[in-house]
């Protein structure tokens, strides 16, 4: 039976990273999102889907393997937690054993006015982030 990707709330993900220095946080959003919207401090950027066609990045698995190992915990984050969950399932199907998804992602869910960063997410929770 395949183990499912574990969802962690942003605060829990941050604490997990503090307690597990061998863990790797990978931001799977596009490079433009990573640079201009902001990203968690210490996160690596390895896009799962990227411009211009939003197809799955053919180098994703190879780049993740170079950045980590099959046995190190991998935490994935995207805008809202959906792309990162999909990428996590892909990593598990390819041999990664400890895969975590940051629920609500960096920007969080949409509110009633269709805006993010007002209900939940890494940035909403005031966790360390930076913008270039």
For residue 96, being part of any structural domain is answered with no
The domain spanning residue 37 has which CATH number?
Answer: 3.40.250.10
For residue 36, being part of any structural domain is answered with yes
* Structural domain that includes position 45: 9-82+102-127
Give one word for 74, left, alpha or beta, with left for phi > 0 and alpha for psi -120 to 50.
Answer: beta
In this predicted structure, what is the pLDDT of residue 30? 94
How many structural domains compose the chain? 1
pLDDT tens, position by position, 49-60: 987 788 999 999
pLDDT tens, position by position, 25-40: 999 999 999 999 999 9
Residue 112 CA to chain centroid, in angstroms? 24
In this predicted structure, what is the pLDDT of residue 1? 45
The Cα 51–Cα 53 span in angstroms is 5
């Amino acid at each position: 039976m395949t183990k499912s990707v574990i969802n962690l709330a942003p605060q829990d993900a941050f604490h997990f990273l503090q307690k597990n220095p061998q863990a790797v946080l990978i931001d799977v959003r596009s490079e433009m999102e990573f640079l201009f919207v902001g990203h968690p401090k210490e996160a690596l950027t390895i896009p799962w889907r990227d411009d211009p066609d939003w197809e799955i990045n053919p180098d994703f698995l190879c780049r993740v393997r170079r950045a980590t190992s099959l046995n190190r915990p991998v935490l994935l984050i995207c805008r809202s937690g959906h792309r990162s969950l999909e990428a996590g399932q892909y990593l598990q199907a390819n041999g990664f054993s400890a895969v975590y998804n940051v629920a609500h992602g960096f920007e969080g869910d949409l509110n009633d006015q269709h805006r993010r960063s007002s209900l939940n997410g890494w940035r909403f929770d005031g966790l360390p982030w930076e913008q270039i």
